[in-house]
A and B are shown apart, each in its own frame.
Chain A
Amino acid sequence: MEQISRRKFIHLSSVSGAFLVVGCVPGPNGDQQVITKVSADLAGLDLNQFISIGLDNSIILYNHRPEMGQGTFQSIPMILAEELEVDIDRVEIRQSEASRDLYGSQMVVGSRSIQTEFEKLRKMGAAARELLKQAAANTWNIGVDQCKASNGSVISEDGKVLTYGQLVEEANKLEPLENPPLKDPKDFKIIGKPVFRKDIPLKTNGEAKFGIDLYTPGMLYASVERSSVFLGKVKSYDDSETLKVPGVKFVFRTEREVYGRKREGVAVLAENYWSAVQGRKALNIEWDTLNLEEISNETITGDSYEAAKKDGDELFGKGDVKNVFKGNSTVIEAAYETPYQAHVPMEPMNAMVSIKDNSAEFWGSTQNPNGIRSFLSKKYEIPENAIKINYTFMGGGFGRRSMTDVAEEAADLSKKSGAPVKVIWTREDDQTQGPFRACSLNVCKAVLDVSGKINALEHKVIAQEIRNQTGDNMTAGRQLMGGINTEYLIPNLSVKGVLRKRHVPISYWRAVYHSTNPFAHESFIDELAHLAGKDPVKFRLDMLDHPRYRRVLSEVAKITNWNAPRPKGTGRGIATAERSGAFFAMVIEVMQKGKSVVPTKITTVLDLGICINPNTVKAQTEGSIVMGLGAAYAGLTIENGSIVEQNFDSYPQLKISQCPEIETLILKSEAPPDGAGESGLPTVAPALANAIFDLTGKRIRKLPIDMDGII
C-alpha cells in the first residue's frame, strides 16, 4: 500500500506559468521512490501524475490502466474526481503514459485495477483538493477549516469563491498534505452513479484507435506461418513462390517464447497486409512435428482419467475425507469435463515494434505495457528509458493480451528487416495457436450423513497448470483449485490436484480456473442436494455462514421467486461463486422449445463492495455471462496434435439471438471495492447445467453442451 507520507511535490515555477511537479509512487519492491515529472509547456499545474489543472480551469485526469472494455478509462478518473470535488462530466480524461516509475504496475489482469488502486487514487484526489483549499485559505488569510471544495472551486464560509484555475499559482508554492482526509463514502457524489463513459462516443464513429489500426512511416506488415502441431520445428522452407507475390519484401524465420517453450514460424513481410498473407500461403515449409500428431482429444481425456486414479496433491484439507470414504458403500461420485478454449478477442492479436541500435518503440494494444518494455530492454540490451511504449485501446483481451509474445515476434522481425514491423495474427492463428484455457477433468466424491448433509467431499482437479507447464516438477500448485468453494461447512473436505503437462500451451483466460472448476463444484453440490431431497438454495444456505455468500444467495432466490411454482416446460438452476473478492449468485431459467433447451433469463446478484460505476459493472457482468454461455456451448478439439476448429464457422461464438434476458442486481455496500471484470462468468455453466437437470432430469457433466441434443 502506498504511503503518502513521504510523497513530495517539488515545484519549479518558471516563465509563463509553466510548472514542474514531482510525484511519488511505490518503487519496484514496494519501496518509496521519488520521481520527477516534467511538464515543460503546460500552462497549469500537474498536481500529481494523475491530475493536471490549468490556469483556465481545465482539468485533465489520467487513467493509468489500459482499457480493453472493462471501463477503467472512466472509473479510475471517477475516483479521482470524487475526492478532487470536480464535475466528472466536465473533466478531460486522458490515457496516461506507460511508466512503472510513475504508476507502479499498469497491468490489467484478474479484475484488479479498482481493488488495488482505489485507496491510492482517493489519496491522490484528496491531496490535490487539500492543496487547493490551503491555497485559498492562504489567499484569504483564513483557516483551511473555513474553506470547502466544491465543483472545481474553493468556497469560504462567508461565501468568497476562487476557482481551481485561479488557485493554481498559489497552490504551486505549497507542499501537499502527508495524509489528506478522505471523504466519508456516504458523501460520495460520483462513485456509485451510472456515469456515462467518455470512451464510448469514440467507439461509435470509428475514431477509437486500436493496435491493429496504427501506422508509422516505413512500416512493413507481417504474417507468420506456424506449425499447427504446437512446438513443431521448422526443418526447411522454400520461399521462391512467396517472393514472387507483389508487395512481399522479406521472408524470415522467427520465434517467440510461450511459457518457457520456443515456438517457431516463418514470417512474410510485405508492404501491405494482404500481400503478406498471400505470400504466406505460397510458402512451402517442412515441419518437424516431433511425433506430437499422436495427441488428440481422445488421448488427452484418456490420460486425464488415468491420472485421476492417482492420489494427487492436497491443496486444501480439513477433517479426514479418506477415513469417511474407507469401506463406505454410499460414496457418490461424478466426473466433469471441460474443453480447451481460445480467448478470441475480436481484435486479433497484433503488435508493431521498431528496434533500432540504441532505442526501441512499441505500438499496440496490450494489457501489460511495462512488461513489453522490460522484455524489449532485456532482450535487446536497450535501457528502459530508451524504449517508448504507445499503448492503445484493446479490442478485447481476456487475458491473452497480458503476454508479450506477439511483440516479441514483431521485435525480432524489425531487428531482421531494419523497418518497423506490424505483425497481425489471422483469426485462424488466434484460434489454433493459443495459448488456451486449459481443458480439465474434475472428479468429485461425497458422502451424505443421515440428515442429508454433506459429511465428506473430495474435489480432484486433473489439469495443466499455467504457472508450471514445463520441467520435471509434477507437484500440483494452488492455482489449480481456483473457484472451488471451501466456505461450505463440510466437516471433511479435501481439494486435490493432479498436475498434467502437455504440449498444448495454456494461459490465463477470463476468470482462469474459476471458469472451469465451479462448473464441477456447483453442479456436484446440486446433484447432492437432489440426492438428499433438498431444495438447492436451502441446501446451500444450510451449509454457509459466510455472510456475503448468504446475502447473494438469499437475494437472488428472492428476486427470482425461487419458491414460487413454475410453469410446465421450464426449469431453473442456481450457482454461487467468488472471484477476485466479489461474491455472486446466479439463477438461470430455461425452457423447452421443440427439441431444444433455451435459457430465457439470467439473474445475477453481486456483492462487490463499493461499486464505482454500476453501468460498467453491469456491462461487465453481461459480458461475463455472454462469454460463459459461449464457453458452455462451444469448445476446441485436438486432433493430430493440432486444433481442429479454424475460425468462427467451426468455433461459433455466442450470437445475439442466443442471448437471453439478463438482469443484474448490485447490492449496496460500503466495503472496499472488489474485482468486477469476471463476476458471473464462473456461475454460468453450473447454473445452466442445474437448470437443464431441473427441466429434463438429465445431468450435464461435460462441456460443451449441445442444447439441441438434450431432449
Chain B
Amino acid sequence: MAKISLKINGQIREIDVDPNMPLLWTIRDHLGLTGTKYGCGIAQCGSCTVHLNGESVRSCVIPTGTIVDQEITTIEGLSKNNDHPVQLAWIQEQVPQCGYCQSGQIMSTAAMLKKNPNPSDEEIDNALNLVLCRCGCYPRIKKAIKQSIKM
C-alpha cells in the first residue's frame, strides 16, 4: 500500500492503495466514480476509457502508481450538466441501449474529436474500433458523431 495523490476531474484526491492496482479499480472502488466501467481488463473493449492529460487511455491496464501528478478526467468530469457536444449528440440520436459501454464510447469520441474535429468514416472506425458495444449501438454512434461535429 502507498499514499498516492491523484488529480481527477479537477480535484486532488489522496488515497492509500496498492500502486499496482489498475487505475480502473482505484477510480471505481476507492474514489467511488462508477461511471467508468470494467469490461475485459485487457485493453480490448474500451469500457474503462478515461482521459489522461486529454488523451483517451484504458484505465484497466494502467497501474495507479504510474500516473501521479497527471490530469485524469472520467465521464463524471466531462461536463457539469451532461452538455458536452458528444453527450448532447448521444441524446439527440438516442444512442445508448443498456448504456454500460457508453462512458467508454463517449470518452473515446470526445478525445478523438479534440484531436481531429472532422474525422472521416475511416478515422472514426480506427479511433473506436476497440470500443465494443454488445448492444449494437454502432449505427447510432456513427450518426451521433456526425451530429456532434455540427454542434
By CB atoms of chain B within 10 A, which of A196, A221, A345, A347 has the most?
A347
- Contact check, B102 vs A619: say whether CB atoms are below 8 A apart: no
Q: Which B residues lie within 8 Å of A200 (CB)?
A: 90-91, 94-96, 99
Bound-state CA distance A221–B38 (Å) is 15
The one of B28, B101, B138, B139 in contact with A346, judged by C-beta atoms closer than 8 angstroms, is: B101
Bound-state CA distance A659–B124 (Å) is 12
Quote the shortest CB–CB distance from A141 to chain B (angstroms): 47
Bound-state CA distance A283–B47 (Å) is 28
Within 8 A of B (CB), among A339-366: 344-348
Bound-state CA distance A196–B90 (Å) is 12
Within 8 A of B (CB), among A204-237: 204-210, 212-213, 215, 221
- Contact check, B36 vs A656: say whether CB atoms are below 8 A apart: no
- Contact check, A204 vs B41: say whether CB atoms are below 8 A apart: no
- Contact check, A246 vs B18: say whether CB atoms are below 8 A apart: yes
Closest partner residue, chain B, to A426 (CB atom): B41
Q: Which of the segments A78-86, A313-321, A391-399 contacts the partner chain?
A: A391-399
Q: Which of the segments A372-380, A485-493, A501-509, A646-654 contacts the partner chain?
A: A646-654
B134 at the interface (CB under 8 A from A): yes
Q: Which A residues lie within 8 Å of B129 (CB)?
A: 655-657
- Contact check, A273 vs B29: say whether CB atoms are below 8 A apart: yes
Q: What sequence of 0s and 1s flags, for each residue 20-60 of chain B, a beta carbon within 8 Å of any chain A beta carbon?
A: 01100100111011111111111011010000000000000
- Contact check, A346 vs B82: say whether CB atoms are below 8 A apart: no
- Contact check, B1 vs A649: say whether CB atoms are below 8 A apart: no
The one of B44, B45, B140 in contact with A622, judged by C-beta atoms closer than 8 angstroms, is: B140
- Contact check, A622 vs B136: say whether CB atoms are below 8 A apart: yes
**Known pairs A204-B106, A347-B37; A395 contacts B30 (CB<8 A):** no
Q: Which A residues lie within 8 Å of B40 (CB)?
A: 427, 647-648
Q: Which B residues lie within 8 Å of A15 (CB)?
A: none
Bound-state CA distance A196–B88 (Å) is 13
Closest partner residue, chain A, to B1 (CB atom): A246
The one of A427, A615, A626 in contact with B41, judged by C-beta atoms closer than 8 angstroms, is: A427
The one of A215, A272, A396 in contact with B135, judged by C-beta atoms closer than 8 angstroms, is: A396
- Contact check, B35 vs A69: say whether CB atoms are below 8 A apart: no
Quote the shortest CB–CB distance from A211 to chain B (angstroms): 10
B8 at the interface (CB under 8 A from A): no
Bound-state CA distance A398–B91 (Å) is 24
A302 at the interface (CB under 8 A from B): no
By CB atoms of chain A within 10 A, which of B30, B98, B132 has the most?
B98
- Contact check, B98 vs A396: say whether CB atoms are below 8 A apart: yes
Bound-state CA distance A221–B30 (Å) is 13
Quote the shortest CB–CB distance from B102 to chain A (angstroms): 5
**Known pairs A206-B33, A206-B75, A653-B132; A619 contacts B94 (CB<8 A):** yes
Within 8 A of A (CB), among B113-132: 124-126, 128-132
Q: What sequence of 0s and 1s flags, for each residue 58-94 of chain B, a beta carbon within 8 Å of any chain A beta carbon?
A: 0000000000000000111011001000010011001
The one of B38, B79, B97, B134 in contact with A71, judged by C-beta atoms closer than 8 angstroms, is: B97
Q: Which B residues lie within 8 Å of A654 (CB)?
A: 132, 136, 138
- Contact check, B39 vs A348: say whether CB atoms are below 8 A apart: yes
Closest partner residue, chain B, to A398 (CB atom): B134
A294 at the interface (CB under 8 A from B): no
- Contact check, B25 vs A395: say whether CB atoms are below 8 A apart: no
A-B pair number, CB within 8 angstroms: 181
Q: Which A residues lie within 8 Å of B106 (CB)?
A: 204
- Contact check, A205 vs B76: say whether CB atoms are below 8 A apart: yes
The one of A205, A273, A394, A426 in contact with B98, judged by C-beta atoms closer than 8 angstroms, is: A394
- Contact check, B29 vs A274: say whether CB atoms are below 8 A apart: yes
Bound-state CA distance A348–B42 (Å) is 14
Closest partner residue, chain A, to B34 (CB atom): A213
Q: Which A residues lie within 8 Å of B34 (CB)?
A: 206, 209, 212-213
- Contact check, B82 vs A204: say whether CB atoms are below 8 A apart: yes
B141 at the interface (CB under 8 A from A): yes
A119 at the interface (CB under 8 A from B): no
Bound-state CA distance A70–B135 (Å) is 9
Q: Which B residues lie within 8 Å of A209 (CB)?
A: 34
- Contact check, B136 vs A347: say whether CB atoms are below 8 A apart: no
A383 at the interface (CB under 8 A from B): no
By CB atoms of chain B within 10 A, which of A70, A625, A626 has the most?
A626
Closest partner residue, chain A, to B89 (CB atom): A204
- Contact check, B100 vs A656: say whether CB atoms are below 8 A apart: no
Quote the shortest CB–CB distance from B141 to chain A (angstroms): 6
Q: Which B residues lie within 8 Å of A657 (CB)?
A: 125-126, 129
- Contact check, A647 vs B42: say whether CB atoms are below 8 A apart: yes
Closest partner residue, chain A, to B74 (CB atom): A206
Bound-state CA distance A200–B135 (Å) is 14
Residue ranges of A at the interface with B (Cβ–Cβ < 8 Å): 67-71, 196-197, 199-210, 212-213, 215, 221, 246-247, 272-275, 344-348, 393-398, 424, 426-427, 615, 619-620, 622-627, 647-649, 653-657, 659, 661-662
Q: What are 10 A-B contacts defined by CB distance under 8 Å? A: A69-B97, A212-B37, A247-B18, A272-B25, A347-B39, A393-B98, A394-B98, A427-B41, A615-B94, A623-B136
Residue ranges of B at the interface with A (Cβ–Cβ < 8 Å): 1, 18, 21-22, 25, 28-30, 32-42, 44-45, 47, 74-76, 78-79, 82, 87, 90-91, 94-103, 106, 124-126, 128-142
| Given A273-B25, A393-B98, A625-B136, 17 more pairs with CB closer than 8 A | A69-B135, A70-B97, A201-B91, A204-B96, A204-B106, A206-B74, A213-B34, A274-B29, A346-B98, A395-B37, A395-B101, A426-B41, A619-B97, A648-B45, A656-B128, A657-B125, A662-B139
